[in-house]
Amino acid sequence: MSNIAVLGAMWGDEGKGHITHHLSRDYDWVIRFNGGANAGHTIYRDGVKFVHNLLPSVDFRHPHVKAYLGSGMVIDLEKLRDEVVEADKTYPGVGRRIYVDKDAFIVEQKHKEEDKASNAHIGSTNRGIGPAYKDKIGRSGKRVGNLFYEGEPAALLDLMKLGVNFTTVLEIEDAFRASNLLFEGAQGVLLDINHGIYPYVSCSDATVGGIIASGFAFAKLDRVYGVAKCYTTKVGEGPFPTELHGEAADDLRKLGNEFGATTGRPRRVGWLDLAALTYACKKGGITHLILTKFDILNGMPKVPVAVMYKKTPTSPSDFFNAVPLTTEVAGWDDAKDYSQLKDFIGLVEKFTKRPVGFISCGTDDRDITNWAA
């Protein structure tokens, strides 16, 4: 059996959805283990765009692949119902391939209201994530399983009618042990509650720690992929050492179509930051990298990259006054001429000490290449 994880290495939106979707055909389960509907995983299938907020990025065209929403998540059940209804239109009966861990916690209406009222200074997506995790930690949260004892509200019945299964890891552990598992992270290591740049973080475990915390300690991981763009983006407030401003930022944002998949907000943009990426690899448990969106920088003669900071970051607080040291590396006319990417990828591998496993230079499945092969 082979198990892997695909994590966001930076501030989310690195293209995890696209990569996970592509790799999912080789796995039996795609498992989300953290976050909730704050995630926005963009997928293009046969040229049609889909955004999954709660559903794992399963390629539903392959009938053997199942989706699992793990116990580390906080789930807005009405939002989930809407997503399953939408998926069911293209893949009738798809609900039967979707499993929800009864130990996951629920996002309630009051959590979304509290988010709006209290978390604007972080740049929250207002999906109720922080307040739901706050109640969980404060021991006043409600798990999905609780609803079975409380008269099954409409959202749960709707999901059951769609065929969605409610279970726990231990109930189906034997099936997991006999399967190939792909764990799909949400957000990214720099937004992790423990290791991200606090307080500008989300509230879940975006590192490999989140997989174990969700009850999957038995699943040995062969590889942990960290996904990063060949430049950097961030939504929300907080330090961003390689950020661009003004016209240069507007140009890159437009080229990369960098607007939030969940909220539509313009993303902040900047150059690749290898100090932050190396920190994320170490804290996140990342063994291999996946680099995306090379096509966006087509035609740049030189590409700036921050290779280190004056002081190597070893703690989230080191990002607040970071001084990046930047170099330039040869660019590419056409990302599909892979020989032109060698300098850039070589630099990333040298500084992060992590091999690049896959690269992506477009939104189609055919745009993902096994770089190591």
The candidate with the shortest Cα–Cα distance to 28, out of 62, 72, 77, 79, is 62
Which residues lie closer than 8 Å to 258 by C-beta, 6 or more apart?
13, 233, 252, 266, 267, 269
User: What distance in Å separates the CA atoms of residue 204 and residue 133, rounded to the nearest whole number?
Assistant: 8
The CA angle 343-5-199, to the nearest 5 degrees, is: 85
The candidate with the shortest Cα–Cα distance to 207, out of 286, 273, 134, is 286
- 169 φ, ψ (degrees, to nearest 5): -60, -45
Using the Cα atoms of residue 141, residue 104, residue 53 and residue 34 in order, give the sign of their dihedral.
positive
Among residues 21, 22, 41, 52, which one is catalytic?
A: 41
Q: Binding of Mg ion at residue 40 (CB under 5 A)?
A: yes
Give min distance, CB of 12 to ligand IMP, in A: 3
Give min distance, CB of 151 to ligand IMP, in A: 30
Q: Between 263 and 369, whose beta carbon lies closer to Mg ion?
A: 263
**245 carries an active-site annotation:** no
The candidate with the shortest Cα–Cα distance to 352, out of 286, 303, 294, 304, is 286
Give min distance, CB of 298 to ligand IMP, in A: 25
Q: Binding of Mg ion at residue 13 (CB under 5 A)?
A: yes
Q: Taking contact as CB under 6 A, which single stretch among the options 67-75, 89-97, 184-192, 310-318 is the one that binds ligand IMP?
A: 184-192
Q: Taking contact as CB under 6 A, which single stretch among the options 7-15, 316-324, 345-353, 355-363 is the one that binds ligand IMP?
A: 7-15
Contact between 173 and 46 under an 8 Å Cβ cutoff? The reply is no
Of residues 252 through 291, those in contact with Mg ion by CB under 5 A are 261
Q: Contacts with Mg ion: how many residues (CB under 5 A)?
A: 3
Exactly one of 54, 191, 219, 348 binds ligand IMP (CB under 6 A); that residue is 191
Q: Which residues pair with 269 in a beta bridge?
A: 233
Pick from Mg ion, ligand IMP, none: which does 192 bind, CB < 5 to 8 A by kind? none
Residues classed as catalytic: 13, 41
Residues lying near ligand IMP in the complex (CB under 6 A) are found at: 11-13, 38-40, 119, 122-125, 127, 129-130, 186-187, 191, 202, 235-236
Residues lying near Mg ion in the complex (CB under 5 A) are found at: 13, 40, 261
